[in-house]
Amino acid sequence: MLKTATARQKKDQVSRLGALFGALFAVSYIARFLIPDHAETAAESLANYDGRAAILFGVVSTFSGIFAVFFVLSLRAALPRRDSVLTAAAVVFSIIAIMVPVVVNLIALDARATLAGIYNN
């Protein structure tokens, strides 16, 4: 026989999962700042451009955004009144506020790679 979880047990599972995503978000967010970038000037940055570090930064930034979105969604699931307009608006604006910097970082990395290619040729 299958045992079904009670509503309280499901909330506990969602809370634990949310805590895991929150911790993963914090670790990946901090890790973005640990990726080395030793350029003093823009010209030096383009001359010493390392595509591997940029890809690593893009991957870490993307996963940071994904973990943050899951964290926000798990927080919403743990709230007692999920049908509130205020809660729905807060979740939507939180997701937008999380994903905009991720997309901007990815666009900036692509632009920097293009400029480095032009600068170094």
pLDDT at 12 over 80: no
Find the range with the poorest average confidence among 13-22, 39-48, 68-77, 94-103.
39-48
* pLDDT for res 40: 67
Q: What CA–CA distance (Å, rounded) separates 88 from 79?
A: 11
* pLDDT for res 38: 64
Q: Kindly state the helix (H) or strand (E) to which residue 110 belongs, with its residue range.
A: helix 85-120
* pLDDT for res 39: 62
Q: What CA–CA distance (Å, rounded) separates 49 from 33?
A: 17
Token couple for 88: 């729905």
Helix 51-78 and helix 85-120, axial crossing angle in degrees, nearest 10? 180
Q: Kindly state the helix (H) or strand (E) to which residue 79 belongs, with its residue range.
A: none
pLDDT in tens, 57-106: 888 888 888 888 888 888 887 777 667 788 788 888 888 988 888 888 88
97-118 average pLDDT score: 85
The residue ranking higher by pLDDT, 1 or 68, is 68
Alpha-carbon dihedral 115, 43, 48, 106, rounded to 10 degrees: -40
- Let me know: does 77 contact 14? Beta carbons within 8 Å: yes
* pLDDT for res 112: 81
**Global pTM value:** 0.69
Report residue 5's pLDDT band, with 50, 70 and 90 as the boundaries.
low
